[in-house]
Amino acid sequence: MALYRDRGVVLRTYKLGEADRIVVMLTRGHGKIRAVAKGIRKTKSRFGGRLEPASHVDLLVYEGRGDLDIVSQAETVDHFAHVRDDLERLGRAVAILEAADQLALEREPNGRLYDMLVGALRTLAGHDAPLVVAGFLLKALALEGFRPQVEACVACGGDGPLVSWAVEEGGLRCAAHRQGPAVSPEAVAVLQDMLGGRLGGALAERRPAVVSEVDHLVVRVFEHHAERRLRSVGALHQG
C-alpha cells in the first residue's frame, strides 16, 4: 500500500465496528479524505484525542484501494483548545466544519478552502467573533464562483440604497427593484466589509440584531447555493 504525508483538519468522525472510527478530513494536498483510525475507541489508543472534529493534524496515511484510507500516524499541529472549552465557539466551529464538508470534494485538492478553514478556526481560537461563521460561508461561496453582489443592485446596477436580498439572483437590490428578504443598512455594511477585504471590520460587529440578521441571510444564501450544487452534482452522476 502506498503511504502519503499530508496536513488536515478533522471535519467529523463516525464509528466503525467495535473499536474503530472513520475520520473525515479536509487535507491540504488530497482534498477531502475518509480514513480509518484503527483502535481509536480503545482507552489506550495511540491516537489519543488527536483526531477529534476541528483537530489540525500532520498525517501519515496508507492509501486504500477504494474510498477508505487508513491513518498510520497523526501528530497535533493545533488542537484549538480555546474553541473546545467554550460551547458557543465550539458550535461556530462545528458550523464551519459542516460547511467545509459540504463544499469539499473527495480527493480533489482545494488549497484555498483548506487555508480558509484553518484561518477561520484560528480566528475563533484567538477570540470569539459572532460573525465568523457567516464570514466563512460568504467567502467560501465566493471561492466557488458564487460571489454575491453586495455593492450594487443586481437588477439595475445602481448603488442604492440597497434594501433587499434577491436570493435567487445572488445579490442585493435597491428600493425600486425590491425583491426577497429585507436587509438593514447595518447588515449591508457588514456584507460589504466581508466581501470587500475588510473581514476584520465585519468580525468586530457584535450588535445582536445585526449579527442575527446577517447570520440568517448568509445561511439562507449558502443553503440555496448548496442545494443547487447538490442537484447539479446529482444530475451529473445520472447523466
Binding flag, residue 60, Zn ion (CB under 5 A): no
Q: Which stretch binds Zn ion (CB under 5 A): 14-22, 53-61, 141-149, 151-159?
A: 151-159
User: Which of 153, 191, 194, 199 is close enough to bind Zn ion by CB under 5 A?
Assistant: 153
Residue (33 or 172) nearer to Zn ion, CB: 172
Minimal distance in Å, beta carbon 154 to Zn ion?
A: 8
- Three-state SS at 16: strand
User: 31: which 3 cell numbers?
Assistant: 482534498
Does the protein bind Zn ion through residue 155 (CB under 5 A)?
Answer: yes
Residue ranges in the chain assigned as alpha helix (H): 81-84, 87-103, 111-126, 132-143, 185-195, 199-203, 208-238
Query: How many angstroms separate the CA atoms of 174 and 162, rounded?
Result: 4
Query: How many Cα atoms within 13 Å fall on the side-chain side of residue 134?
Result: 30
Count of residues engaged in binding Zn ion, rule: CB under 5 A: 6
Binds Zn ion by CB under 5 A, chosen from 177, 220, 224, 229:
177
Output helix, strand, coil percentages for the chain, rounded to the nearest 5: 45, 25, 35
Considering beta carbons, is residue 147 or 177 the nearer one to Zn ion?
177
CB closer to Zn ion, 76 vs 179: 179
Shortest distance (Å) from residue 160 CB to Zn ion: 8
Task: Quote the Cα angle for 177-182-185, to 5°.
Answer: 95
Which of 63/151 has CB closer to Zn ion? 151
Closest residue to Zn ion, based on beta-carbon distance: 153
Q: Are 211 and 190 in contact (CB under 8 A)?
A: no
Whichever of 60 and 156 has its CB closer to Zn ion, that residue is: 156
Shortest distance in whole angstroms from residue 234 CB to Zn ion: 34
Residue with cell 480509518: 36
Which sign does the torsion angle of CA 207, 191, 130, 91 carry? positive
Which of the ranges 9-17, 59-67, 158-166, 202-210 carries the binding residues for Zn ion, by CB under 5 A?
158-166
CB of 174 to Zn ion, least distance (A): 3
Residues 64 and 49: their CA atoms lie apart, in Å, by 23
Residues that bind Zn ion in the complex, under the rule CB under 5 A: 153, 155-156, 158, 174, 177
